[in-house]
Structure 1
Amino acid sequence: MLSNVRIVLVQTFHPGNIGQAARAMKTMGLVDLVLVNPRCFPDPEATRLAAGAEDLIESARVVGSLKEAVNDCVQVVGASARLRSLPLPHFDEPDEMAKEITEHALDAPVALVFGRERSGLTNDEIGHCTHQVSIPANPDYGILNLAQAVQVLAYEVNRTWRRRPESGYHPTRPTGEKLPSREQLDHFHAHLGRVMQASGFLTQPHARTEAQLQALFARAQPTRRELSLLRGLLSALEPKTHSPDNDQA
C-alpha cells in the first residue's frame, strides 16, 4: 500500500528541501517521489541532505506539470495552509486524510501534493486535486517548512497503515528490551523473597509486603535487561553463606 502513496513537490526552489523531503518519506516507508518543474534538480545539495535516502533522489521522476504528475491517481490531496474558494472536500485533521487515502491506496495510486516553499499551491493547481488537507498548528505561527509538512503527513499515512491488520506490522525490540517471561519473573520474586527474609526486612507484621512488591513490579514492567540488573543487585546483597540456586536471570 505504501508504494502507492506518491509525494508530489511542485516547483521546489531549494534543492536541499527535496533531499530533506526524500528523507522524511523514507523514514515512513514512502518511495514514490515526483517533482514538478523543480528549479534545480538533480543537485548535490539534494543528495547530501537526503542523508540515507539517496535512492529516492535517484529514482525521483521530473515532470512538466501537476496534471502529468497525478494523472493516474484516484485521489489527490493538496496540502494547503489556507482554505481556498474552490469547493473541494477539506480534511481539517491529517489523520482523517490518512484513513481515507490509505483505503484508496490499497488498489491504486494516490498523491499528496506540496507547493512552493513561499507561496504553496496556486488555485489552478488546487483544481487538479480532489481534496485539501491542512496541518493544525499555532495560529500565531503556523509555518512549517516543506520537509516538515511532508514528514507530518507521511507519518499519519504510515501510522494509519500500521494499524491495519493487513500491514503485518509488529514492533521489534532488542532482546534486552523485551519483557521477561512469567518464569523469569517468578525466579526474580523468589530471589527477592529470599533476600528480604535473610535481611530481616520481611517479618510477620508485613505479610502483605511480598504481594505489594509484586504488584509494584507488575506496574513497572521491567525489561529483561532491567530484571537481570535487579537480580544482580539482589545477589550482591545476599549473605555470602547463601548457595545460589541454578535458576536463570
Structure 2
Amino acid sequence: MDNLNSISLVLLNTSHPGNIGAAARSMKTMAIENLILVQPNKPLSPIAIARSSGAKRILENAKIYDNINDALTDKKYIFGTTARNRYFNQKILSPQDSGKKIIKYSMQDLSSAIIFGNERTGLSNEDVQKCHYLIKIPTTDNFSSLNLASAVQIISYEIYKQYLKTQKNNRKIDKKIIEIADYSKLTKMIEHLQNTLKSLNFYSPQITQKLQRYFLQNPPTDEIINIFRGIFKKIENK
C-alpha cells in the first residue's frame, strides 16, 4: 500500500465527534490511513470510537493541528471538496478524475491532501484558494448536502479504485520527475511577494490572489521559488 501512504484526508473544524469516527471507518475500508484533523471536536470520544467501527487506530494516529496552514505544510498537491460552484479558477474535478490524479501523483512520490470542510459551512473561500484542484460530487439539484462520512467514502473509493487498477496492470510511472515545492515554501514565497509589493506601493489583495492562483495552477519547483525570493530580496535592498 506504499502508493497510498502519500495521501492524507484532512477534516477541517468537524463539529460532531461521530462524523470523525465514521469518516475514519470510510477511510479504512479503502486502505487510506493518514487522517489529519484541524480543530476537531473530541476526536477520541466514546461516540467517535464507536462510529469508527474498528478504525480506532486511524483516530489514535491522526495528526491534530490548530490551523490549516500547519496541517498542509509538507503537502505537494491540495484538493478541496465543495458542494457548490466556486469561481476561483481552480479546475473542478469529478471524484473519478480526482482519484486518477491523486494516484498518479502518489506513484510519483508526490503527497496529496484532500480537505473536507465543516459539516454545516463547508470550506471557506479562503480555504478554497489554498487548493490546486476542487472536487465536486454530483448530486441532485434539489438536495446537494452529503453527510461528511459519505463524502469521504466516495472520494476514498475513487482513489482506491484507481490504485487497484495500477496494481492490476502493473503500471509504473517514470520517477524522473520535476520535484515541485511543498505548500509551506509556496506560502512563504507568496508572503514575501506580498511584502515586496507593499514596499513598491503596488500591493492590492486582488493582485496577490491572482498571483497565488497562478502559482497553484503552475506549481513551481524549489529552484524557481529560490529565484523569485532572490529577486524580491534584491528589490527590497535597493
Tell me, yes or no, whether TM beats 0.5.
yes
Residue 56 of structure 2 corresponds to 54
d(CA) in 1 for partners of 2:19 and 2:154? 15
Alignment equivalent of 1:120, drawn from 116, 122, 132 = 122
One-letter amino acid of the structure 1 residue matched with residue 119 of structure 2 = E
Aligned to 1:161: 163
2:180 counterpart residue number: none
Give the secondary-structure state (helix, strand or coil) at the position aligned to 1:147.
helix
Residue among 107, 110, 113 paired with 1:111: 113
What is aligned with 2:24?
Answer: 22
**Deviation per CA, 1:6-62, whole angstroms, max 9, x where unpaired?**
000000000000000000000000000000001333311111110010110110111
The separation in 1 between residues aligned to 2:168 and 2:130, in whole angstroms, is 31
Q: Is the 8 A contact 1:21 1:147 kept in 2?
A: yes
Residue 167 of structure 1: how far off its partner (Å): 7.7
Question: Following the alignment from structure 1 to structure 2, what is the Cα–Cα distance between the partners of residues 144 and 151?
Answer: 11
Distance of 1:152 and 1:7 partners within structure 2:
12
Aligned to 2:5, the other structure's residue is in SS state helix
Q: Distance in 2 between matches of 1:40 and 1:85?
A: 34
Which residue of 67, 73, 76 maps to 2:75? 73
Does the C-alpha gap of structure 1 residues 52 and 167 become closer, same or farther in structure 2, counting only changes over 3 Å? farther
Measured against aligned partners, the alpha-carbon deviations of 1:78-109 in whole angstroms (never above 9, x if no partner) come to 00001222121211x21111111111112022
Count of aligned pairs: 168
Corresponding position of 1:63:
65
Identity fraction in percent: 34
Mapped to 2, the partners of 1:115 and 1:135 lie a distance apart of 14
Indicate conservation of the 8 Å contact 1:66/1:128, yes or no: no
Give the conservation status (yes or no) of the 8 Å contact 1:74–1:104. Answer: no
TM-score after normalising by structure 1: 0.65
Which residue number in structure 1 is paired with residue 152 of structure 2? 150
Output the amino acid matched with 2:95.
P
Find the counterpart in structure 2 of residue 177 from structure 1: none
| Residue 130 (structure 2) pairs with residue 97 (structure 1) | no
Aligned to 1:3: 5
Distance of 1:64 and 1:127 partners within structure 2: 19
**Bigger RCO (CA 8 Å, 6+ sep):** 2
Deviation string, structure 1 residues 153-189 (Cα, Å, up to 9, x no partner): 0000000110014786xxxxxxxxxxxxxxxxxxxxx
Q: Does 1:136 align with 2:138?
A: yes
Q: Which amino acid aligns with 2:101?
A: E
**Off by >6 Å, runs of 4+ in structure 1:** none
Runs of at least 5 residues in structure 2 that lack an aligned partner in the other structure: 171-238
Q: Distance in 1 between matches of 2:152 and 2:17?
A: 15
2: CA distance, partners of 1:73 / 1:17: 24
CA contact (8 A) 2:21 2:43 kept: no
Aligned equivalents of 1:119, 1:167: Cα separation in 2: 40
Q: Helix, strand or coil: the match of 1:48? A: helix
The AA in structure 1 aligned to 2:21 is G
Q: Paired residue for 2:36, among 11, 30, 34?
A: 34
Partners of 2:113 and 2:39 in 1: how far apart? Answer: 17
Indicate the RMSD between aligned Cα atoms, in angstroms: 1.6
